[in-house]
Amino acid sequence: MSLYGARVEYALHTLVNLSRVPDGVLPSARDLADFQKLPVAFTRKILSQLERAGIVAGTEGAGGGWRLGRHASEITVLDVVDATQESQPLFECREVRARCALWDDGEPPGPAVTGVCSIHAVMLGAEAAMRGELSKHTLADIGATVARKSSRDALRTTAAWFTERTTQRRSTS
């Protein structure tokens, strides 16, 4: 299994899309899910988690919806990862070193068990490197990369799709 599953992937895609929505337009969870063909109920759950972390802000009631909680350039991938999967360690130390046949007779081993387990320390270093890399990239960066790859037309169409969706909602009600 991978450390970061569909939750993170859905969250990031949803956020990148959300960062492309024009100001004043509030897409609903259904809008955001439909745009990328994600399961609606699951997307709602993810948005709730992101709201708890302040990454998005939701307004309730009819005509309500979601917008980014702060500017896309101030939301890192690490923020999103931490928000969706709270405290997912790369490695969970079980303190195996404490269970050694040598000191079976009850006496605690002394300095061998103090501090961080040497194996754990390596893993913590790797985790720090990974998180450091994730914190270097923001939603704005990813958005820019996508924009560079796709046609100017596609970007405009995306914005138009969301505006149409939300206004359509309001008119039919």
87 binds, among DNA, a second copy, none (CB under 5 to 8 A by kind): none
Structure tokens at 9: 């992937």
Binding DNA (rule: CB under 7 A), the pick from 22, 36, 54, 64 is 64
Q: Please identify, using beta-carbon distances, which residue of 40 and 90 lies nearer to DNA.
A: 40
- Is-contact 64 28, C-beta < 8 A? yes
Going by C-beta distance under 8 Å and a sequence separation of 6 or more, which residues neighbour residue 144?
none
Rounded least distance, CB 92 to a second copy, Å: 5
Q: Residue 57: which H helix or E strand, with range?
A: strand 56-59
CB of 106 to DNA, least distance (A): 23
Cα–Cα distance for residue pair 74/161, rounded to 1 Å: 25
Query: How far apart, in whole angstroms, are the C-alpha atoms of residue 55 and residue 92?
Result: 27
Binding site for a second copy (CB under 8 A): 1-6, 8-10, 12-13, 16, 34-38, 77, 88-94, 96-97, 99-102, 109-112, 114-115, 118-119, 121-123, 125-134, 137, 142, 145-146, 149-151, 154, 157-158, 161
